[in-house]
Amino acid sequence: MQNQIDTMNDFTRDYTISIYLDKRRAKKNGKYPVKLRVFTSSPRQQKLYPTKYEFTEAEFDSVWIKPTKTFKEERLSLQAIDKKAEEVAKTINPFILSEFENSLFGGNSKSSNVVNNYYQKAIEKYNKNEQISTASNYYLSLKSLLKYHKKSTIEFYDVTSDWLKGYERKMLADEKSSATIGIYLRPLRAIFNKAIKDCVIDIAHYPFVKDKYVIPSPKGVKKALSKEQLKVLYEGKPQNEQQELSKAFWFFSYACNGINFKDMLNLKYKNIDKENLIFVRAKTANTNKAKEPIKVHLNDYLRVVIDKYGNKDKSPRNLIFPMLNNIKDPKEKKRKLQNFTRLVNQHFLKYSKIVGIDEKISSYWARHSFATNAIRNGASMEFVSEALSHSNLNTTKGYFAGFDDEKKKEISNKLMEF
């Protein structure tokens, strides 16, 4: 009797669950992803949920259609996925796809389908790698998203293009800039990419594409000084020791391929190799990006700054500059770095006003000024890209403030010199 009831339920239920080889698009290795397929007849809809498996058609036949011993473990794993889905589906009466998704993937805070958990793992990773600023960016991003979502957790399937557009509208209404929106949404995009790689969500649900949602990317203000402005700053006379120090370290950054202050203060004497200063950017040291070392010619100016402000003990393991001496705690390092950068920015800005430069100059201008003036002096975009350790030329182009009028005039005049 019970068997008859079970059979009747199978005939009357309005959903089917199956293991499915998604042959819409082959991967580079010629295989197709295996997915959990859920189909409902009323309303008529289909959802495909990723698994970690991928097979050729012949392999899938050997796993699922006509099983062989070769793929025994894979078959058992897929059977477990199928069984779990069936068990969850049976608890939902009438069957509602969104409730099924919630129960199977997002039923509790420990679910892998919860965005919060991916954020937490990322924050822990970046803190462990002493990437404190990045960890802080992820924390602030999640905090902002949760405030908009008005729930304690966000699931990946909550984040649609409409959800993102609503978030952007709310941020703009709260007088947040497009730049801030971009800062908060780029971590979320990275989280989505990781979840897709982990087969937690299907790429079809990825909302950060041109026809769905594009993160605002406001055109940045070019922060480069001209050759004439640099000359005035370089030849000017600081009024006190703080201005003298700030001038020395600003121009050290400029002459050292626009090195940022974090990388500068973490330089060690072992980074000096005869005529060169060789280092890897902290920003890329803990990533999968190319870690080609940056090589800077140790010119006379750089040597003078090192001799004047550097640690006197030049043992290879010692830091070149003393600001972070004997500090082990990453958060304390960040605080000291921020304090030093703030000091340089404050006093270099005062100094620049004294010598007649009106721009609101900061340490970041040194990097843009290096890129722009190197190109204006004849360096190729490829050379500058390598010097800045950029992964592509488009990033480098964002640093280039263009050619000044005199250079354009010179180029125009030479066009007729045959």
Question: 221 in a domain, yes or no?
Answer: no
174 shares a domain with 149: yes
For residues 296 and 328, membership in a common domain is answered with yes
Residue 211 domain-assigned (yes or no): no
109, 113, 180, 329: CA torsion to nearest 10 = 60
Q: Are residues 89 and 196 in the same domain?
A: no
Asked if 332 and 242 sit in the same domain, the reply is yes
| Structure-derived torsion over alpha carbons of residues 185, 284, 268, 347, reported in degrees to the nearest 10 | -30
pLDDT of residue 7: 36
Residue-level pLDDT at 356: 93
Same domain? For 96 and 123 the reply is no
Q: Are residues 167 and 201 in the same domain?
A: yes
Has residue 214 been placed in a domain? no
Q: What is the pLDDT tens value at each position of the chain, 418 positions in all? A: 334 333 334 444 678 999 999 999 888 899 999 999 998 877 777 888 888 899 999 999 999 999 998 889 899 989 999 998 998 888 877 777 767 877 776 544 345 568 988 998 999 898 888 888 889 999 999 999 999 998 888 988 889 999 999 999 999 999 998 889 999 999 999 999 998 888 777 788 899 998 899 998 766 556 788 889 999 999 999 999 999 999 999 999 998 888 889 999 999 999 999 888 988 887 766 655 556 788 888 999 999 999 999 999 999 999 999 999 988 888 899 999 999 999 999 999 999 999 999 888 999 888 888 888 877 777 666 766 666 665 565 555 555 545 455 554 554 454 445 4
Is residue 236 a contact partner of residue 354, using CB atoms and an 8 Å limit?
yes
Q: Is 277 exposed, middle or buried (0-12, 13-18, 19+ CB in 10 A)?
A: buried
Please state the pTM of the whole predicted model.
0.56
- Output the CA–CA distances (angstroms, integers) from residue 61 to 18, 21, 75, 235, 395, in the order listed: 14, 10, 11, 77, 46
Contact 319, 265 (CB under 8 A): yes
Domain assignment present for residue 150? The answer is yes
Q: 266 Cβ partners below 8 Å, 6+ apart?
A: 282, 319, 324
pLDDT confidence of residue 162: 94
What strands lie across the sheet with 276-279, from one edge to the other?
272-273, 276-279, 294-297
Does residue 121 share a domain with residue 95?
A: no
| Residue 213, domain member (yes or no) | no
262 and 378 part of one domain: yes
Say yes or no: 276 and 381 in one domain: yes
Tokens of 213: 């949602």
The verdict on 268 and 293 lying in the same domain is yes
Q: Which residues form the domain of 231?
A: 227-412
CATH number at residue 355: 1.10.443.10
Is residue 96 domain-shared with residue 119, that is, in the same domain?
A: no
22 within domain boundaries: yes
φ/ψ of residue 185, rounded to 5: -90, -25
In a domain? residue 161: yes
pLDDT score at 411: 46
Give the total number of structural domains in the chain. 3
Considering the domain architecture, whether residues 248 and 380 belong to the same structural domain is answered as yes
Residue 347 · residue 243 · CB < 8 Å: yes
Tell me what pLDDT residue 9 has.
42
Rounded to whole angstroms, how far apart are CA atoms 377 and 315?
Answer: 37
